[in-house]
Amino acid sequence: MLYDQVTPRPNVWKANISAIQECAAKTNWSVDISLSVEEAWSVFEGKFSLVTSSFILRRPNNSPPWLTKVVRKLRRRRKKH
């Protein structure tokens, strides 16, 4: 059962690493030194996301939205006893 309101997460184990390396080698990683640290980080993050997003597949999160960390912990505790 899939839930539409939950965003799919990256499946890094099935990423095309060689394609990522090739694309990263072709990318211009230089950042303007006049930018603030936050702006430079934002530029880097955008470039990194652009390089990796097309080569890392996304898998759906099959967990229901109501099954939070707290609920999982309580379920495990109940199963133990």
Q: pTM of the prediction?
A: 0.58
Residue 4 has pLDDT above 70, yes or no: no
User: What is the per-residue pLDDT for 5?
Assistant: 55
User: What is the per-residue pLDDT for 1?
Assistant: 45
Q: Give percent above pLDDT 70 in the chain.
A: 90
Q: Cα–Cα distance between 48 and 53 in angstroms, integer?
A: 8
Residue 68 has pLDDT above 90, yes or no: no
